[in-house]
Amino acid sequence: MSTTATTTGRPARLRRELRFLETAAVSVGVMAPTLAMSVTGSEAARSLGAAAPLAFVVAAVGVGLVAYGFVRLSAEFAHAGSVYAFVGNAVGPRAGFVAGWALLGTYLVFPPVSMMGVAIFGSAALRSAGLVADADWYPLAVVGLLAVTLLAARGIRPTTRSVLAFEVASLALIGVVMVAIYAHAADDGTPAAQRLSTDVVQLPPGVGLTGLALAATAGFLAFAGFESAGSLGEESVRPTRAIPRAIVLAIGLGAVFYVLCMVAQTIGFGTDAAGTAAFTGSQAPLDTLATRYVGSSVAAAIDVGAVLSALGAGLGGVTVAARMMFSFGRDGLTWRPLATVDAATGVPRRALALEVTVAFVLLTAYRVAGAPPLTVFFHLATIGVLSLLVMYVLTNLAAVRRLRRRAPREVVLPVAGTVIAGFVLYRHVWPVPPPPFRWFPYVVAAWLLGGFALAALRTGFVARVSAGLARSQEPGLAPAEHGAGA
């Protein structure tokens, strides 16, 4: 049994049942700190050497500025379409739709990216356990996608609790390795290069603030997904309080974990030139360090932790995409049946099915093309990140407009957020990257132009969106908490 806007005569509604930690779990899960640390740390070390942790300090400050606009807007509007409502209410219906369309573009490809994380680290875990020497990535990715689908279909509360459990388990596993490294660094018998020192906060000779800013762009992407809690505006019990706090918690937790983990990895390999070379040359730095400081069994467990983190990210990703599709369908901007809500679980099941189908098609297409797993990961991740950065710019511009009259002194923060997001976007397209990455900005541009065309050509578009956005302030959908800050 299900309810839709057409069968009941009233807008389809999601089930409001999430407490604060359940709301925050989606932002933390989509960020996937464990998975992020498994793939991004060595890039910062390549640029800054032993000072690699500084890249994540700067990135955390930059992300905090970018997130300020989200915090302020989510404290006023609660809507399943998140930025669709944030930008739509602050700027106008067409701008809101394009921002939502950009976010949807990201979360159409992020779940397959997460499934590639499942495949890559699942294969590593099987190899470490001596079960399969070279597992095919495709079956692992499909099994991961099936697991995500089954969990997401159970309801939003089981979904968020699963995401939280996955990430807590994976963080605990990395925590064991970090503690072992720090304990080793405190030992007087440890070589100087593996002790805590000021090397981790001193830029190497010849690297200035510009080099630090460039290195921080890699760290910036480790926070991608912090805004995901915004999609729970119609399922969180007190959304205009819980969602801003969830965003702040996700960024704060990520910042502390990333910096501590980067320091641990840096001193674990060694802060001298040989240590930096070993760090940047390792394809699985956390595995290497786990084997060195704890044991090979823990290294295998780290791979399992990365799989759990990837599953959590995929689960959060399909949740966000399904809510955006639900919002567009409910407002009659796309296929109306996407607004179908299952009466038993409260899940927009057709939107979820479409999202999972897109993920399956993308994975299958790359498998047919014979692409290796890392190629699939970085191709789709790049496309998703470009679309996400466009959305970050649009949302911060909307926050500037919203705050200009209400709180003019605060405008400087979203202005800074706009500049930072724009800079990271610029660095992804210039200098022009090698093929095929040079073509991905055109893919994203084509997707965004499709959204512009739909907004321009759809009959009665402004009226439809305006009516839909009004729900972000409707008492039955969002408590009258507008103005409550984080």
Tell whether 484 is covered by a domain.
no
Going residue by residue through the chain (486 aa), what tens digit of pLDDT does each one get?
445 544 443 446 899 999 999 999 999 999 999 999 988 888 899 999 999 999 999 999 999 999 999 999 999 999 999 999 999 999 999 999 999 999 999 999 999 999 999 999 999 999 988 888 889 999 999 999 999 999 999 999 999 999 999 999 999 999 999 999 999 999 887 888 899 888 999 999 888 888 899 889 888 999 999 999 999 999 999 999 999 999 999 999 999 999 999 999 999 999 999 999 999 998 889 999 999 999 988 888 999 999 999 999 999 999 999 999 999 999 999 999 999 999 999 999 999 999 999 999 999 999 999 999 999 999 999 999 999 999 999 999 999 999 998 899 999 999 999 999 999 999 999 999 999 999 999 999 999 999 999 998 888 999 999 988 886 664 444 433 433 333
Vertex 14 angle, CA 9 and 20, to 5°: 155
| pLDDT at residue 482, as a whole number | 38
Tell whether 1 is covered by a domain.
no
Find the CATH number of the domain harbouring 275: 1.20.1740.10
> What are the angstrom distances between the C-alpha of 376 and each of 119, 130, 255, 363, 379?
11, 25, 27, 8, 5
Tell whether 367 is covered by a domain.
yes
| pLDDT at residue 469, as a whole number | 86
Q: For residue 167, with 0-12 CB atoms within 10 Å meaning exposed, 13-18 middle and 19 or more buried, which class applies?
A: buried
What is the C-alpha to C-alpha distance for residues 268 and 193, in angstroms, rounded to an integer? Answer: 9
Tell whether 160 is covered by a domain.
yes
89: which strand partners?
Answer: none
In the chain, what is the straight-line distance between the N-terminal and C-terminal CA atoms, in Å? 38
- Decide: 22 and 246 in contact? Cβ < 8 Å: no
- Decide: 290 and 314 in contact? Cβ < 8 Å: no
Q: For residue 130, with 0-12 CB atoms within 10 Å meaning exposed, 13-18 middle and 19 or more buried, which class applies?
A: exposed
Tell whether 269 is covered by a domain.
yes
Tokens of 208: 């200035």
Residue 21: which residues within 8 A CB-CB, separation 6 or more? 164
| pLDDT at residue 485, as a whole number | 36
How many domains, the chain?
Answer: 1
Tell whether 7 is covered by a domain.
no
Compute the CA torsion angle 295, 297, 298, 300 (nearest 10 deg): 130
Sign of CA dihedral 314, 340, 103, 353: positive
pTM (two decimals):
0.93
| pLDDT at residue 12, as a whole number | 66
| pLDDT at residue 189, as a whole number | 78
Tell whether 359 is covered by a domain.
yes
Residue type, 333: L
| pLDDT at residue 474, as a whole number | 46
Tell whether 133 is covered by a domain.
yes
Neighbours of 83 (CB within 10 A): 30
Domain that holds residue 61: 19-473
For 341, the 3-state DSSP assignment is strand
What is the C-alpha to C-alpha distance for residues 86 and 17, in angstroms, rounded to an integer? Answer: 22
Residue 100: which residues within 8 A CB-CB, separation 6 or more? 81, 82, 83, 84, 87, 88, 324, 327, 328
- Decide: 419 and 69 in contact? Cβ < 8 Å: no
18: which strand partners?
Answer: 236
Which ranges of 129-237 does DSSP label H, i.e. alpha helix? Answer: 137-152, 156-185, 209-221
What is the C-alpha to C-alpha distance for residues 419 and 396, in angstroms, rounded to an integer? Answer: 9
Residue type, 472: S
| pLDDT at residue 476, as a whole number | 46
